[in-house]
Amino acid sequence: MLELVQKGNKIYAEDESTVSILKKGFYGTEFDKKLFLSEIEALYLMDSRNAECKSDAGKVSLFDFFSRFSKKSKFIARYFAYKDWRDRGLVAELPDKSYKEPLESPVKKYPSQEIELPKFKVHGTFFKSDLTTLIKEENEGKELYEKYWFGQYGAYKAADRGQLNKLDIYETIYLANKGTLILNDIKKEEVEAIATKRHKDFSSLYSVYEDWRNKGYVIKTGFKFGTNFRVYFPGARPSTGSGKDWTHSKHVIHVFPKNSRLLISEWARAIRVAHSVKKTFLLAVPGSQAKSSAKLDFVLYHRHGGEADNPSNYPPHFAMLALGEEEYLGGSDLAAALQETARRKLELLLAIVDRETSVTYYIVRRIILPKSPQEYYEIDWLQP
């Protein structure tokens, strides 16, 4: 039986057997032959490991101990994220506890090249309500689709069914900016104003579209995959003609501007769709950083070769940000947490605790798109 002692606002273990068991499990901080525990560690040991806690007034009840924290910010989310990680036999510690720092932060580099654009110009009619442009010149419109994959000639997956190329709103503005598209009866600035009125994040979305297109990527709608965009690596072309295989994208991009806020449940939904269709989910976090208070909740050790990490031999693997299903996450908060994680040379693990205290984990890994001023991350579902 594990025995804990509460005195004032300190909780510790002092009997030899408890101290020895808890030290082996990497709980607490030893000082003066006592092992001092954080509140969350003590709660966990009482809740999940049947520890008994005594104060001068007698036995401390789990419910009463818990209830003290009812006014704290996201205490339940933090506790159950900690509990879930520990219940898996893995080690989690408070972020202020000292640890071996990893040698370098892992960053993946994406390829990049200059975009090639046609020499010809085309004319187009813009449809305000549909945010779509119809291209006048049939041959150039077809080439723009087949060779550069702008717009959709004919019908989707059936370019021979129909005779016109249709550009979406991002393609419209991009090609107008590059001088390839001349709009009839409307100015480019007016088109941008209409798009921004429809979607308040439009300028952020467009900045991401432009960034990837400029580096040779093909960017189309991610509608089928629940995201803003899907992505093809430089050189991709649509499959045309019969008998050819359809070109499949492997990446999707979703945009989460720093000045926006989103319910965690809505945020997770976008990742879930991408995951169900086996795409790599890329998160773009455009905009400038506002002051933000996002703090990391835990530092986590993972497995090495099938065994639980040993914090005395290895550096930690992740920094954890625990979030409840019903919380809002701001783009700036996420950016701040990512910055702090990078400073510690770790990877960020988002632990989302739903209304049933079930925890879903997502790893967030920084990627580099050469010459890009923007921040991009790969997000992956993790089963610890």
Instruction: Report, in Å, the least distance between residue 78 CB and its own copies.
Output: 9
Query: Least CB distance from residue 90 to its own copies, whole Å?
Result: 15
Q: Which of 72, 248, 250, 304 is labelled catalytic?
A: 248
Residue among 162 and 235 whose Cβ is closer to its own copies: 162
Written as six digits, the tokens of 368 are 């580099």
* Residue 362 among the catalytic residues: no
Secondary element (H or E) of residue 272: helix 264-276
| Cβ atoms of 353 and 340 closer than 8 Å | no
72 carries an active-site annotation? no
d(CA 17, CA 102): 33
Match 């049939």 to its residue by tokens: 138
| Residue among 12 and 209 whose Cβ is closer to its own copies | 209
Shortest distance, position 346 Cβ to its own copies, whole Å: 25
Q: Which is nearer to its own copies, 19 or 135 (CB)?
A: 135
CB 233 within 8 A of CB 111: yes
Instruction: Please state, in angstroms and rounded to a whole number, the distance separating the CA atoms of residues 23 and 43.
Output: 17
Closer CB to its own copies, 107 or 193, in the complex = 193
Residues 279, 317, 361, 377: which is the catalytic one? 279
Length of the chain: 384
CA distance to 185, 302, 361, per residue, from 320 (Å): 53, 12, 9
Q: What span, in angstroms and rounded, lies between the C-alpha atoms of 208 and 376?
A: 10
Q: Indicate the residue among 110 and 225 with the shorter CB distance to its own copies.
A: 225
Q: Provide, rounded to whole angstroms, the least separation between the CB of residue 293 and its own copies.
A: 14
Which residues are CB-neighbours of 161 under 8 A, at least 6 positions away? 154, 155
Give residues with Cβ within 8 angstroms of 47, minimum separation 6: 62, 83
Residue 353 Cβ, how far from its own copies at the closest point, in Å?
A: 8
CB atoms within 10 A of CB 340: 18
Nearer to its own copies, 222 or 316 (CB): 222
Catalytic status, residue 279: yes
Closer by beta carbon to its own copies, 268 or else 351: 268
Environment class of 174 (CB within 10 Å of its CB; exposed 0-12, middle 13-18, buried 19+): buried
Query: Which residues have CB under 8 Å from 156's CB, separation 6+?
Result: none
**Rg, the chain, Cα only:** 26
Instruction: Kindly give, in sequence order, each residue whose CB lies less than 8 Å from that of residue 102, ignoring residues fewer than 6 positions away.
Output: 315, 316, 345, 346
Closer by beta carbon to its own copies, 19 or else 323: 323
**In this structure, how many other beta carbons lie within 10 angstroms of the beta carbon of residue 79?**
21
* Pick from 351, 336, 349, 354: nearest CA to 379: 349
CB of 154 to its own copies, least distance (A): 9
**Smallest distance from the beta carbon of 143 to its own copies, in angstroms?**
16
User: In whole angstroms, how close is the CB of 274 to its own copies at the nearest point?
Assistant: 10
Q: 341 φ, ψ to 5°?
A: -65, -45
3-state percent breakdown (helix, strand, coil) of the chain, nearest 5: 30, 30, 45
Active site residues: 232, 248, 279
